[in-house]
Amino acid sequence: MPLEHGRTYHIYNRGINSTDIFSCEANYKRFLMLYGEYVSPVADTYAWVLLRNHFHLLVRIKGEEEIPFMRLYPPHPPLSGSRPLTGCEDNTLTVVEDPVSGSSSGKRYTPSKQFSHLFNAYAQYFNKYTGRHGGLLETPFKRIRVDTQEYFRRLVYYIHHNPVKHGFAEHILDWGWSSYLTMLSVKPTNLSRETVLGYFDDVANFKFYHQQQHDLKEIECLLLE
C-alpha cells in the first residue's frame, strides 16, 4: 500500500528475526537525526517510540504541495545545531537546516522513498557501528492507515505504552525514547504536539487517558496480519 498524501499512518518495523536494532544511546540518537533529515520534509510526526528491536511511528504524510522540491546535490550527513523536534534534552528528532544553496530538480521528495532512505541509511550506520553485515530491518516496512479519531487516540496510547507492554520499562515515564515526555513539555518542538493534544482536548486529559486501561485488540490484530 503506497503512502498517500494527506493521510495518517501507523508505520512500524523490527529487526530481521527480531534482532536488536539499537544497542546504545548513540544508536537511538542517530536514528532520530536521520529521521529528521529524511522524513520531516515529507511527514508531520504525531507520536513515536524506539525500542531495542523495533519501533512505532504515527505520522501524517504531507500534501503534495507541502513537500519541498528535491535538491540536485547529494544527501549530506545530519548537521550540528539542527533544530530539535522533541524539545527534550535526552532525545531529539531533528529537522536539518540545509545551508547549501542548490537548484531544484523540479521533482518533489517521494514519501515512501524517504522512509526507505531512512531505514537504509540507518542500517548502513548500524552495521558499520557494530561490525555486522546484511539486512537489518524487515522489508517492506509496515504501514496501517489511521482513519478515525478513536483509533488515533488508542494508537497514541499504544505507542507510548509499548515500552511497558514489552517489559523495557516499568512505567511510561521511565522510557526516554518516545514522544510522551515531549507531549507534556512546553518547550518548542517540531513534533505536531498541538494537533495531538487536540484529540484529547488538553494536556490534563491526555495524561488521564494514558493512565487508564484501553482495549487494544483492534490495533494488535492489525499488527499480526
Asked whether residue 31 is assigned to any structural domain, the reply reads yes
pLDDT digits (tens, 9 = 90+) for 98-142: 444 455 667 899 999 999 999 999 999 999 999 999 999 999 999
Residue at 1 is within a domain: no
Confidence class for position 219, pLDDT limits 50, 70, 90 = confident
Residue 142 sits in which domain range? 8-224
pLDDT digits (tens, 9 = 90+) for 139-174: 999 999 999 999 999 999 999 999 999 999 999 999
42 found inside a domain: yes
Q: Is the pLDDT of residue 79 over 50?
A: no
Note the pLDDT tens digit of each residue in 5-45.
Answer: 999 999 999 999 999 999 999 999 999 999 999 999 999 99
Euclidean distance between CA atoms 204 and 213, whole angstroms: 16
Q: Is residue 2 part of a domain?
A: no
Residue 47, in any domain of the structure: yes
- Rounded average pLDDT over 178-199: 94
The pLDDT of residue 71 is 75
Please check the confidence at residue 91 and state whether its pLDDT lies above 90.
no
Q: Is 3 inside a domain boundary?
A: no
pTM (two decimals): 0.85
Which of 58, 53, 30 lies closest to 138, judged by CA? 53
210 within 8 A of 60, measured Cβ to Cβ: no
Rounded CA separation 157/29 (Å) = 23
Q: Which cell is 103 given?
A: 537548484
- CATH code at 202? 3.30.70.1290
Number of structural domains in the chain: 1
CA 115 to chain centre: 10
Pick from 45, 8, 7: nearest CA to 152: 8
The answer to whether residue 73 is domain-embedded is yes
The answer to whether residue 75 scores a pLDDT higher than 90 is no
